[in-house]
Amino acid sequence: MKNKCLYYAGLAVFIMISGCDNQNQSRADSALILQGSTMGTFWRVSLADVAPERKESLQKAVQRQLDDDDRTLSTWKADSVLSRFNRYRGSEPQPVSDDMADIVTEALRIGKKTDGAMDITVGPLVNLWGFGPDKQPVKTPTQAQIEAARAKTGLSHLRVIQRAEGAYLQKDLPALYVDLSTVGEGFATDHLARLMEKEGITRYLVSVGGAVLTRGLNPQGEPWKVAIQKPTDRENAAQAVVDLQGHGISTSGSYRNYYELDGKRLSHVIDPATGAPIQHRLVSATVIATTALEADGWDTGLMVLGEEKAKALALREKLAVYLIIRQGDEFVSWMSPQFRSFVLSP
Ligand code: FAD
């Protein structure tokens, strides 16, 4: 049997590669690995059937593209395209790139489908609770502060306009603040896949943070394997292993990005209806979809909705969804019928 080792790829999913530390492995059997950091997280690209001589130029091309995406989408960079839009206080349509228009259009679509549970205008609340570029609060925000931040949110205040000369973003609430953190990693992952295609590469696994997309077979001629992290383990341990079959996967969880305030554990996923971090038994939602962007949008919406509504939405929209739910000291999992067809184990 071949050796197996685990490569950490993101917050809640990781990549399993057969034969990765086999000393006798031939060069043709090993993946060409590129990696680096971006957007406050890590990226990784594994390639099959690509000459090692291309490593340096591909590494540079990937980093350049991710740096460009970061300069467009970041709320952490004051000079990004998105930050400039957020600072703009008027209601005139603002010209944006097709990429930006596509991300916002997809995020608004999923936002509506989740009844506003996934809401990219939730930024003022994200920042109030200390999960954005602003500092963490030392005291629990008051209801008045929450309501003041909530008054600056709402999907209905943002729209994408497509004209013959290009795309525009428009807001009708001056203080509206768009936060694309929840879909940025998914978009960047799809963008890396397009870069690989442009480079003539057809067997790859690309990932940014917790979003992953694969195409073709790994160097051993097997499916690329992606594992969903067990929620309690500090080390990588698989709750389930999937073959993405050319799809994107993303996980949103409440157990990795959190802090404690006034004796309460606060997750970075905010319920736009209450203006506060979610408080329920659903600890992670994983989605497989045609694109990593789509998967990345749905997973946060499902997390906000909680166990029962998330299951109902997954069934209604025929989404490939895997949920992990806390039951006392235990964790139980649930998967939609669409998810089942991707599962290799258990
Ligand atoms: P997901 O579950 O996919 O998304 C949760 C995040 O979305 C929250 O952290 C919050 O920002 C937002 N959110 C919360 N509730 C909702 C909701 N109801 N609807 C919609 N969105 C919601 N982090 C840094 O520390 N430093 C950086 O410099 C930095 N730069 C970034 C640049 C870009 C372009 C992007 C996209 C992200 C950046 N981040 C940065 C954030 C970070 O890397 C992750 O994207 C973030 O922690 C969320 O990713 P996730 O997959 O863990 O969570």
Residue pLDDT, tens place only, 227-273: 988 876 556 678 889 999 999 999 998 766 677 887 788 889 999 99
d(CA 281, CA 65): 38
State the alpha helices, DSSP H only, in the chain: 55-73, 81-87, 98-113, 123-128, 143-150, 181-198, 292-305, 307-316, 337-340
Please state at what angle helix 292-305 crosses helix 181-198, rounded to 10 degrees: 160
- pTM score of the predicted model: 0.93
Q: What is the pLDDT of residues 178-211, one digit of tens each?
A: 999 999 999 999 999 999 999 999 999 999 998 9
Is the pLDDT at 27 greater than 60? The verdict is no
- Pull the structure tokens for residue 136: 């963490």
Q: What is the mean pLDDT of the chain?
A: 90
Lowest-pLDDT range of 21-25, 139-143, 232-236 = 21-25
pLDDT of residue 79: 95
> 182 C-alpha vs ligand 1 centroid, how far in Å?
5
- The answer to whether 54 and 83 have CB atoms below 8 angstroms apart is no
Q: Whose CA is nearest to atom 43 of ligand 1?
A: 40
- For residue 24, the SS3 value is coil
Q: What is the pLDDT of residues 293-338, one digit of tens each?
A: 999 999 999 999 999 999 999 999 999 999 999 998 888 999 999 9
> 270 C-alpha vs ligand 1 centroid, how far in Å?
11
> 271 C-alpha vs ligand 1 centroid, how far in Å?
14
pLDDT of residue 177: 96
pLDDT of residue 13: 61
pLDDT of residue 232: 65
Give mean pLDDT, residues 58-76.
97
pLDDT of residue 266: 85
> 70 C-alpha vs ligand 1 centroid, how far in Å?
12
Best mutation site among 182, 228, 270 for ligand 1, i.e. most ligand atoms within 8 A of its Cβ? Answer: 182
pLDDT of residue 18: 41
Q: In which band, very low, low, confident or very high, does the pLDDT at 20 lie, cut at 50, 70 and 90?
A: very low
Residue 123 vs residues 127, 129, 229: alpha-carbon distances, Å: 6, 10, 27
Percent of the chain whose predicted confidence (pLDDT) is above 90: 77
pLDDT of residue 254: 72
- Pull the structure tokens for residue 239: 């709750």
Give mean pLDDT, residues 146-175.
97
| Atom number in ligand 1 closest to CA 181 | 36
Residue 128 vs residues 107, 132, 278: alpha-carbon distances, Å: 22, 8, 14
Residue 329 vs residues 20, 87, 323, 325: alpha-carbon distances, Å: 35, 45, 16, 11
pLDDT of residue 234: 59
